[in-house]
Each structure stands twice: as structure tokens, then as C-alpha cells.
């Protein structure tokens, strides 16, 4: 994820500037729904959103299924059906109920007859076994690996950074996805990391996983416009090293990319490598959406308001980062997260995020109370009934 303070080309936004703008508030730019060939008709499904991930909070249990409302817009003179059943008119909308029985359900709204028939289609995902759960990702990791390799500690946890993560795990049960670079800015690379700690990595793989993040910290936005081949080459290079020194048990697919930007082809290639969930900021700044995997304004706005969205084109679920701990003072952690737990819009799935470099005193942006900020976020999740998971397991860390 981004952390640079300098300006970068192509309307790129620094992490500090991005967060500052988000904190003071921005005007969200929206765009009308882009109609597909199948939806070029008078009837439009307004809710649910195509790619919505739904759970018990979005409908009513019905004979082992979930009945959800479907809202359509159409000329009032039309007769509208939703999945073959007549819709009822409520004000200037048409409404019907659809029962979800499988993981993915297609919803078809139709109006007119014969040559004048038109329809609109969306697909939704049912998180049947959803429960409150949280994932904790740490981005931009390389310094702790360099520290261990050069100091040759007797244990991984003689490194204060990993000890900090272990202390949080032992206190709260937190599981950490640690997203790593191949190379540091001083020339250190992963092949220099010894395999002598492999058994210790394996012993702790139940709560500590290593994943790809990027080749290196610079350049910024490395995959925003890069061909899929570039991303996969970097991915495989890091994956090979994780398997070498930490074992297959410790390796995990990443839950975000550096700067959270990629092309559609790259996303499809990541799915082929086992990536199922990616996080991003999904916030607007200076009138444009950013740190959003290059998705358009309509879909980015949906994620910003609803936290989750399935991109059927790639097969990947996208989730909004609920907080960036290194950028959030301890006394602002709870106010930042509290909206997630307010009924009836409580979110079952929360992604907590921070960045490794802010733990290190030699780093220019060092945050002295970084560990306390992370603990405050974890404590909030724990106090609100969220359980720690790895998002790459099952459906967002839950049973499918």
C-alpha cells in the first residue's frame, strides 16, 4: 500500500496527502450506471448492486434460503417481472423478492414482450455463514527480514518487530498477513535470508503468514499500468523465496498490492495464482477515485460505502481498508471504526491495515506509538465481537 510523501507522476497521490484529504472530507463524484448490452432496456435493477456480497443482515431467512428485496426502475406503464415473478409497484419503483440458495445467484428483471422485451441482470454472492470477523494486514515489509538476516538472531522473535506481532497474537489471537518486498532500498534481497528458521516459521504459520507485496518500495504504483507478465514475474520471485526459507505452510496469497492498483488482465492472472481477496482505500481525492485497482467511480463508490464487492470479471473480492493504523492516532482509532458497528449497517467483515516501516526508529516517518495504535484497532475489533481470520481461507475467512 502507498506510504510515500513525495509526489509521483500520472496524478498519483502520496499516502500522507491522500489520508489528509480523506480526513477533511471530499466530494464523492458519481457516475451513472453503465448499461451492458443485456441491460439496454427500460428496466434497470437499482438494488442489489451487481457483485454485492450479502448476508443475513440484507434479507430474511426462508426455508434454508435468504430472501432479499430487489428494486427496479421502469416506466410505470410497464409490467415487470423479477426472476419470472411479477413485481409489485411501490411508488415509482418495482419491487420483488428473490430467494438466494447458492453462493452466486443471477437476478433478471424483465419488461415488455416479444420484440419489445428488455431486461437487466445482476449477480450477487451469498455469504451464507457470515459472522463478524477481521483480518490484519501489514504492508511494505522488508526491514525485519534484513534485520534478522544480518544479526543472525537465535530466534525470529528476537527481532522486536516480530515479537510485537507475537505479543498481539498471544493477547488477542490476531492473525497477521505480512506482505513483503523482494528487495530493500540498500540492496538487500530475499535470497540473502537464511533458511535456518524454517521450522520456526512453520510452527507459527497458524497465525503468521508471508505474502507477496511488490518487488520493492520504489517505484510507486508499480502495477498500475504494468502488463500482467510483470506482476506475475515479481509475484513468483517472492513466492519462491518464501517457500524456500519459510515453507509452504507460511506462504499465503496477498490481500493487497503495493499502491492497490493493477490492470484487469493482471487481476485475472492473480486469480489464477490463488488470489481471492484484495483490499484498497477506495476513497476519492481531488475529484478522482484512487488506490482502487483502477475501477470506475460507480464501483469504487459502492465499495467505499459497502466495504465489499465481487468483481466477476476477475473472480476477486475487493474490500475497503477500514483503517490505516500508522496514520491514525490512538485516540482516533475507535471513532474511525465505530461507524462499522452501528446497526443496522454493521459490517461483518473488517480489514485492518498498517505498514512495517513506521515501527523502525531509523525510518523518517517513524511513529513511536505504532504498536499502541495497532493494539487499539485490534482491541476494538475484539471488544465488538470480531474474530481474527485469514481472508484467503474460505469465503473471506469464513465457511463457504
Nearest Cα neighbor of 48 from 142, 103, 117, 123 is 123
- Considering the four listed CATH numbers 2.60.40.150, 3.30.390.10, 1.10.3720.10, 2.60.40.10, the one that applies to the domain covering 37-126 is 2.60.40.10
Residue 392 near residue 274 (C-beta atoms within 8 A): yes
Question: How far apart, in whole angstroms, are the C-alpha atoms of residue 224 and residue 226?
Answer: 6
Q: How many C-alpha atoms does 298 have within 13 Å on its Cβ side?
A: 10
Q: What is the pLDDT of residue 155?
A: 98
E strands in the chain: 44-47, 53-54, 60-62, 65-73, 80-82, 85-86, 88-90, 93-100, 104-111, 118-126, 133-141, 176-181, 208-214, 277-280, 283-285, 288-290, 308-311, 316-324, 349-355, 387-388
Residue 391 near residue 135 (C-beta atoms within 8 A): yes
Q: Which residues contact 305 (CB under 8 A, 6 or more apart)?
A: none
Q: What is the pLDDT of residue 36?
A: 37
Q: What is the pLDDT of residue 229?
A: 98
Which residues share a beta bridge with 309?
318
Q: What is the pLDDT of residue 31?
A: 36
Q: What is the pLDDT of residue 3?
A: 59
Blockwise average pLDDT, block size 10, the chain, 400 residues: 42 40 34 39 92 95 96 93 97 97 97 83 97 97 98 98 98 98 98 98 98 98 98 98 98 97 98 98 93 98 96 98 98 96 84 98 98 98 98 96
- Considering the four listed CATH numbers 3.40.50.11030, 3.20.20.370, 3.40.50.720, 2.40.50.140, the one that applies to the domain covering 15-22+130-388 is 3.20.20.370
What are the residue boundaries of the structural domains of the chain, listed by start? 15-22+130-388, 37-126
Residue 259 near residue 222 (C-beta atoms within 8 A): yes
Instruction: Write the DSSP assignment of 320-376 as a string of letters.
Output: EEEEEGGGS-HHHHHHHHGGGGSTTS--SEEEEEEEGGGG-TTSTT--TTHHHHHHH
Q: What is the pLDDT of residue 117?
A: 83
Q: What is the pLDDT of residue 11?
A: 33
Instruction: Judge if pTM exceeds 0.85.
Output: yes
Amino acid at each position: 500500500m502507498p506510504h510515500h510523501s513525495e509526489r509521483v507522476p500520472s496524478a498519483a497521490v502520496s499516502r500522507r496527502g491522500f489520508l489528509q484529504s480523506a480526513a477533511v472530507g471530499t466530494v464523492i463524484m458519481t457516475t451513472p450506471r453503465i448499461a451492458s448490452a443485456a441491460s439496454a432496456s427500460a428496466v434497470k435493477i437499482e438494488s442489489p448492486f451487481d457483485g454485492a456480497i450479502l448476508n443475513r443482515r440484507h434479507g430474511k431467512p426462508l426455508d434454508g434460503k435468504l430472501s432479499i428485496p430487489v428494486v427496479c426502475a421502469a416506466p410505470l406503464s410497464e409490467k415487470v417481472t423479477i426472476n419470472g415473478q411479477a413485481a409489485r409497484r411501490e411508488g415509482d419503483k418495482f419491487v420483488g423478492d428473490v430467494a438466494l440458495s447458492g453462493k452466486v445467484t443471477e437476478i433478471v428483471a424483465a419488461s415488455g414482450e416479444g420484440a419489445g422485451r428488455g431486461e437487466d441482470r445482476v449477480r450477487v454472492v451469498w455469504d451464507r455463514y457470515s459472522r463478524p470477523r477481521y483480518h490484519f494486514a501489514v504492508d511494505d515489509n522488508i526491514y525485519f527480514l534484513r534485520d534478522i538476516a544480518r544479526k543472525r538472531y537465535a530466534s525470529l522473535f528476537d527481532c522486536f518487530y516480530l515479537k510485537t506481532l507475537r505479543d498481539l497474537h498471544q493477547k488477542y489471537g490476531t492473525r497477521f498477513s505480512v506482505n513483503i518486498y523482494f528487495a530493500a532500498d540498500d540492496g538487500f534481497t530475499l535470497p540473502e535470508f537464511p533458511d535456518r528458521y524454517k521450522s520456526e516459521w512453520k510452527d507459527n504459520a497458524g497465525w503468521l503468514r508471508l505474502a507477496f507485496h511488490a518487488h520493492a518500495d520504489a517505484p510507486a504504483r508499480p502495477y498500475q499500468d504494468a502488463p500482467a507478465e510483470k506482476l506475475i514475474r515479481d509475484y513468483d520471485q517472492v513466492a519462491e523465496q518464501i517457500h524456500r526459507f519459510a515453507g509452504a505452510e507460511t506462504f499465503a496469497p496477498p490481500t493487497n498490492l503495493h499502491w492497490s492498483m493493477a490492470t484487469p488482465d493482471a487481476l485475472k492472472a492473480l486469480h489464477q495464482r490463488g488470489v481471492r481477496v484484495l483490499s484498497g482505500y477506495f476513497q476519492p481525492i481531488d475529484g478522482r477515485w484512487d488506490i482502487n485497482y483502477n475501477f470506475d467511480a460507480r464501483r469504487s463508490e459502492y465499495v467505499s460505502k459497502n466495504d465489499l464487492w465481487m468483481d466477476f470479471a476477475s473472480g476477486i473480492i475487493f474490500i475497503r481498508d477500514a483503517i490505516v493504523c500508522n496514520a491514525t492516532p490512538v485516540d482516533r482509532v475507535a471513532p474511525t471504526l465505530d461507524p462499522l458497528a452501528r446497526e443496522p449497517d454493521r459490517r461483518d467483515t473488517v480489514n485492518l491495515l498498517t505498514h512495517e516501516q513506521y515501527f523502525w526508529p531509523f525510518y523518517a516517518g517513524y511513529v513511536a506509538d505504532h504498536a499502541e495504535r495497532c493494539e487499539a484497532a485490534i482491541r476494538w475489533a475484539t471488544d465488538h465481537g470480531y474474530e481474527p481470520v485469514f481472508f484467503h481461507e474460505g469465503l473471506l475467512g469464513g465457511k463457504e
